């Protein structure tokens, strides 16, 4: 336990980076004279080896693989085919490329893309493919604190009204229900039939990544209880083998590909985002699926007046982070509001 975080410390691996002068591979005449697609394969193989050794989180590498692949495809479409041809201006264009539906990408997406590009070139440097990292010149202004924009009660009611967009639709309402209970989109994608305990009105959420604890969430909403029950009944009716039903994902349906954490989260996020647009509560760069959990945080804090209760509901380790989400400035409320002694100045604790 630390002064600002509760629970056991989480192991956080770091990507291996070059150490010392860069030594190019013997088969290269100059830095970067290697095909981008070939370099991508070499980098991905190295990342997979690092995951196998436990050097870095598989979730991080999964994101890096997806983003770096998109980066190489974008470069090829721009006529750039070697590592050395990639310039900062090309990466800036890729980082800011809109979503497939035309919506602008959020700051978080831009930062994730830049991070993946930096990781790609760092590993390429370590492998002796290049001695340059053009992603270092890509600048994005990072927010000083987490962006928060909770939905309103009226917006949540509109989501509930629009969730079953067909008479037999049960998956989207159940996904919304899990978020309204406090699950993240990644956690919702991992919830299985056996994780729901209707008798005791609770659901076990897990696989939230390094930032969130596995935990029980109370099913404390009648609407959520009905949505989850309806989904379970639909799965039960359509099950061909009841022996495998318990391990069936509640709101994620695999599309004949490996159901990775990234794919599960993307599927849930996509479904919830489509619902938000259908209910007209989505505003690009302002509201997003996480706005639903921020509404949950506000509700829990209003009911309990406890930051710890908010942190537990969302699975957060940082009480400071939970306080920020609900807008509770505990420092101002509890500090002695008098000037510091002469010659001293206030500063945040280390």
The reply to whether 294 and 198 lie within a common domain is yes
Integer Cα distance of 237 and 242 in angstroms: 10
Work out the angle between the directed axes of helices 107-126 and 88-95 (0-180°, nearest 10): 140
Judge contact between 187 and 179, C-beta under 8 A: no
Integer Cα distance of 290 and 156 in angstroms: 13
Domain boundary residue among 104, 137, 170?
Answer: 137
Structure tokens at 51: 């995951």
* Local structure of 5: helix, strand or coil: strand
- How confident is the model at residue 175, as a pLDDT? 97
The reply to whether 121 and 236 lie within a common domain is no
Q: Is residue 344 part of a domain?
A: no
Closest CA to 11 of 43, 50, 56: 56
pTM, two decimals, is 0.68
Q: Is residue 30 part of a domain?
A: no
The reply to whether 44 and 186 lie within a common domain is no
Residue-number span of the structural domain to which 101 is assigned: 36-137
Q: How many CB atoms lie within 10 A of CB 161?
A: 9
Structure tokens at 305: 């007046």
- Under 8 Å CB-to-CB from 176, ≥6 apart: which residues? 159, 160, 163, 227, 272, 275, 292
Q: Is residue 221 part of a domain?
A: yes
CATH number at residue 252: 1.10.443.10
The reply to whether 42 and 166 lie within a common domain is no
- How confident is the model at residue 202, as a pLDDT? 97
Interval 118-167: pLDDT, tens? 999 999 999 999 999 999 999 876 655 677 899 999 999 999 999 998 87
Q: Is residue 6 part of a domain?
A: no
Q: Is residue 43 part of a domain?
A: yes
The reply to whether 223 and 318 lie within a common domain is yes
Strands 202-205 and 196-197, by their bridges, are antiparallel
CATH number at residue 115: 1.10.150.130
Q: Is residue 209 part of a domain?
A: yes
The reply to whether 254 and 326 lie within a common domain is yes
- How confident is the model at residue 346, as a pLDDT? 65
Q: How many CA atoms are closer than 13 Å to the CA of 237, on its beta-carbon side? A: 8
- How confident is the model at residue 302, as a pLDDT? 95
Integer Cα distance of 68 and 81 in angstroms: 14
Residues in the chain: 350
The reply to whether 45 and 130 lie within a common domain is yes
The reply to whether 94 and 204 lie within a common domain is no
- How confident is the model at residue 145, as a pLDDT? 63
Q: Is residue 26 part of a domain?
A: no
Q: How many CA atoms are closer than 13 Å to the CA of 42, on its beta-carbon side? A: 18
Judge contact between 62 and 261, C-beta under 8 A: yes
Residues of the chain with pLDDT under 50: 1-4, 9-11, 350
- Residue 196 backbone dihedrals phi, psi, to 5 degrees: -95, 125
């Amino acid at each position: 336990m630390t002064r600002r975080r509760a629970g056991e410390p989480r192991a956080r691996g770091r990507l291996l980076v070059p150490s010392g002068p860069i030594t190019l591979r013997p088969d290269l005449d100059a830095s970067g004279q290697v095909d981008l697609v070939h370099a991508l394969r070499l980098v991905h193989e190295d990342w997979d080896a690092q995951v196998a050794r436990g050097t870095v989180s598989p979730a991080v590498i999964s994101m890096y693989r997806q983003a770096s692949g998109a980066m190489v495809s974008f470069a090829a479409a721009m006529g750039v085919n070697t590592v050395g041809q990639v310039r900062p201006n090309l990466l800036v264009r890729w980082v800011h490329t809109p979503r497939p539906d035309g919506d602008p990408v959020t700051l978080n997406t831009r930062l994730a893309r830049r991070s993946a590009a930096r990781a790609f070139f760092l590993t390429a440097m370590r492998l002796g493919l290049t001695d340059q990292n053009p992603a270092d010149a890509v600048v994005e202004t990072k927010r000083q604190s987490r962006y928060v924009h909770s939905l309103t009660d009226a917006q949540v009611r509109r989501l509930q009204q629009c969730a079953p967009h067909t008479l037999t639709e049960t998956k989207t309402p159940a996904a919304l229900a899990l978020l309204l209970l406090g699950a993240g989109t990644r956690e919702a994608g991992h919830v299985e039939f056996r994780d729901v305990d209707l008798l005791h009105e609770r659901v076990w959420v897990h696989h939230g990544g390094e930032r969130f604890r596995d935990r029980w969430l109370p099913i404390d909403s009648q609407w959520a209880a009905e949505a989850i029950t309806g989904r379970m009944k639909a799965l039960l009716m359509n099950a061909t083998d009841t022996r495998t039903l318990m391990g069936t994902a509640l709101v994620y349906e695999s599309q004949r590909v490996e159901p990775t954490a990234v794919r599960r989260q993307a599927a849930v996020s996509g479904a919830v985002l489509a619902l938000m647009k259908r209910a007209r509560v989505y505003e690009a760069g302002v509201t997003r699926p996480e706005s639903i959990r921020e509404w949950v945080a506000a509700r829990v804090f209003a009911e309990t007046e406890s930051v710890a209760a908010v942190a537990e509901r969302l699975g957060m380790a940082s009480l400071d982070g939970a306080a920020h989400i609900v807008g509770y400035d505990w420092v101002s409320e509890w500090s002695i509001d008098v000037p510091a002694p002469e010659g001293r100045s206030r500063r945040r604790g280390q």
